[in-house]
C-alpha cells in the first residue's frame, strides 16, 4: 500500500504571497470558512467550463453565498480552445458589467484550462484581483493550480501570454475525482510521473510498485499522489517563484509536449498525455548524450505504458515539432533550454543539445 498521511495543508512559502493548499474531501465548508476570513468585496466571479459547471457550479455558488458573497458563474466551452484572448475578452466584459472591483475574488472551478484562464483574468483585471483555485481534475490538483503560472495561448504557441500570479489559496477536493473520466485520470498521471523523474526517486518507485492503485485512483493513492506532488512543487516554487533557475526543472517533458499540442491543434492530446510523450523524448535525448543508460529509459517507458499513457504522437512530423520548439517560452536567444535526466529523481538544464540529437529523439516519439 501507499504510505498515507492525514489530510493536511501544504504551505507555499513566498513571503507576503504565501498561501496554503488544502487537500481533503468535501471541502466546501472549508472554502466558506476561508472566504469569511478574507477582506473580499461581496461581488465575485466563478469561472468554470460546461462540464464541471453543471456538476459543481450550483453547490459552489451556494457555499460562497453562505460565506457572504454574491457570486456569478461564467461558463466557458470545455477544452484548450478556451485559453484564448477572445474568451478572456468575454470574461473581462462580464466582470466589468457585474461591477467587480479590486477586492472582488475570482474563483477557478475546473481543470487546468479553467485555472490558467481564470488566473489570467485575475492577474489582468484592474491590475490584479484576489484569486482562489478550486481544481477538480487530477492534473490541476497536482500541478497547474499550484505555483502561480497563469496564461492563455496564442496561435503561434502555448501559454505565451500570461503572468506569474499566485492564488490566495488552493482547495484540492479529492471527492471531485468521482466524476473524472478515465482519460482525465491518465492525463494527470502524466504530470505525476514527472515529479518522480525530476525530484524524488522513491516517489517514482512507489508509482512503479502501485501502478494499478494509481490508475484506478484509489483513495489512498489519490491522497498520496496529490500531497507529494504538491509538496515537491511547493518546495521548488518557494525557492524560485519566477523560473530564474531551479523552477525550470518543472518543465521536464514540456518542450516536446507543447510542440505536440501545437502541431495537433490542441485537440488530439490532453496536456498530460503530451507531457508523457515529451518526457520520453527528453529521456531519449538524455540517453543519447550519455547522461543516463537504457535501463532508466526503460523504466520511464514501462511506467508510462502501465499508467495507460501514449508512447507515441500521431499527426505530427519531426519538421513541425522542431520548428515549434523555437516558439516555446523555454527558448532564450535562439537556444532551447532542455530539462534532461541524470537519473531517476535528478535532472539538469542544458542548452547545448545538437539539432540532430533532438530530431532523432523526436522521431522516436512519432508513430511510424
The reply to whether 224 falls in a domain is no
Question: Same domain for 102 and 203?
Answer: no
Tell me the mean pLDDT per 10 residues along the chain, length 368. Answer: 61 96 95 97 98 97 98 96 97 98 98 97 98 97 95 91 97 96 96 98 98 94 96 96 92 96 93 97 98 98 98 96 83 85 97 96 91
Q: Which of 127, 158, 179 is the last residue of a domain?
A: 179
Question: Same domain for 136 and 92?
Answer: yes
The reply to whether 240 falls in a domain is no
Question: Same domain for 104 and 70?
Answer: yes
Q: Are strands 43-49 and 157-164 parallel, antiparallel or unpaired?
A: unpaired
Instruction: Look up the CATH number of the domain holding residue 29.
Output: 3.40.50.1970
- Whether 340 contacts 286, CB under 8 Å: yes
Question: Same domain for 162 and 273?
Answer: no
Question: Same domain for 138 and 198?
Answer: no
If one counts the domains in the chain, the total is 2
**Predicted local distance difference test score (pLDDT) of residue 157:** 85
Predicted TM-score (pTM) of this structure: 0.92
The reply to whether 242 falls in a domain is no
Instruction: Look up the CATH number of the domain holding residue 303.
Output: 1.20.1090.10
**Predicted local distance difference test score (pLDDT) of residue 156:** 86
Q: Which of 159, 179, 199 is the last residue of a domain?
A: 179
Question: Same domain for 65 and 80?
Answer: yes
Question: Same domain for 200 and 334?
Answer: yes
> How buried is 73 (Cβ within 10 angstroms: 0-12 exposed, 13-18 middle, 19+ buried)?
middle
- Whether 173 contacts 134, CB under 8 Å: yes
- Whether 185 contacts 215, CB under 8 Å: yes
The reply to whether 2 falls in a domain is no
Question: Same domain for 125 and 69?
Answer: yes
The reply to whether 17 falls in a domain is yes
Cell reading at 311? 508512447
Question: Same domain for 152 and 201?
Answer: no
Could you give the CA distance from residue 95 to residue 317 in angstroms, rounded to a whole number?
42
The reply to whether 238 falls in a domain is no
* CA 73 to centroid of chain Cα atoms: 23
Q: Which residues are catalytic?
A: 127, 149, 191, 233, 243, 247, 251, 254, 258, 271
**Predicted local distance difference test score (pLDDT) of residue 1:** 41
Question: Same domain for 87 and 150?
Answer: yes
**Predicted local distance difference test score (pLDDT) of residue 4:** 45
The reply to whether 282 falls in a domain is yes
Could you give the CA distance from residue 60 to residue 57 in angstroms, rounded to a whole number?
5
Domain of 340? 182-209+252-364
The reply to whether 1 falls in a domain is no
Question: Same domain for 108 and 195?
Answer: no
Question: Same domain for 168 and 41?
Answer: yes
Amino acid at each position: 500500500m501507499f504510505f498515507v498521511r492525514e489530510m493536511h495543508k501544504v504551505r507555499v512559502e513566498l513571503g507576503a504571497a504565501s498561501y496554503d493548499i488544502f487537500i481533503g474531501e468535501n471541502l466546501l465548508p472549508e472554502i466558506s470558512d476561508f472566504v469569511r476570513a478574507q477582506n473580499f468585496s461581496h461581488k465575485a466571479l466563478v469561472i468554470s467550463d460546461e462540464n464541471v459547471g453543471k456538476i459543481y457550479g450550483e453547490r459552489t455558488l451556494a457555499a460562497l453565498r453562505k460565506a457572504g458573497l454574491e457570486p456569478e458563474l461564467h461558463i466557458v466551452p470545455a477544452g484548450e480552445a478556451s485559453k484564448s484572448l477572445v474568451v478572456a475578452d468575454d470574461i473581462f466584459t462580464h466582470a466589468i458589467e457585474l461591477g467587480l472591483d479590486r477586492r472582488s475574488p475570482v474563483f477557478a472551478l475546473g481543470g487546468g484550462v479553467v485555472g490558467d484562464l481564470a488566473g489570467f483574468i485575475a492577474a489582468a483585471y484592474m491590475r490584479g484581483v484576489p484569486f482562489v483555485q478550486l481544481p477538480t481534475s487530477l492534473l490541476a490538483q497536482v500541478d497547474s493550480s499550484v505555483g502561480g503560472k497563469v496564461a492563455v495561448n496564442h496561435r503561434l504557441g502555448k501559454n505565451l501570454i500570461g503572468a506569474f500570479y499566485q492564488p490566495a489559496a488552493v482547495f484540492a477536493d479529492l471527492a471531485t475525482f468521482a466524476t473524472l473520466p478515465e482519460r482525465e485520470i491518465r492525463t494527470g498521471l502524466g504530470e505525476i510521473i514527472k515529479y518522480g523523474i525530476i525530484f524524488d526517486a522513491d516517489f517514482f518507485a512507489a508509482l512503479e510498485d502501485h501502478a494499478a492503485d494509481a490508475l484506478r485512483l484509489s483513495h489512498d493513492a489519490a491522497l498520496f499522489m496529490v500531497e507529494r506532488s504538491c509538496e515537491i512543487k511547493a518546495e521548488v516554487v518557494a525557492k524560485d517563484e519566477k523560473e530564474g533557475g531551479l523552477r525550470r526543472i518543472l518543465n521536464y517533458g514540456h518542450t516536446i509536449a507543447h510542440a505536440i499540442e501545437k502541431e495537433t491543434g490542441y485537440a488530439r492530446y490532453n496536456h498530460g498525455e503530451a507531457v508523457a510523450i515529451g518526457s520520453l523524448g527528453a529521456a531519449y535525448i538524455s540517453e543519447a548524450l550519455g547522461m543516463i543508460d537504457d535501463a532508466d529509459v526503460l523504466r520511464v517507458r514501462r511506467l508510462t505504458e502501465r499508467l495507460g499513457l501514449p508512447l507515441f504522437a500521431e499527426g505530427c512530423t519531426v519538421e513541425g515539432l522542431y520548428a515549434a520548439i523555437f516558439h516555446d517560452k523555454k527558448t532564450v536567444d535562439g537556444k532551447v533550454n532542455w530539462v534532461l535526466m541524470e537519473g531517476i529523481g535528478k535532472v539538469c538544464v542544458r542548452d547545448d543539445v545538437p539539432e540532430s540529437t533532438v530530431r532523432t529523439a523526436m522521431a522516436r516519439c512519432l508513430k511510424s
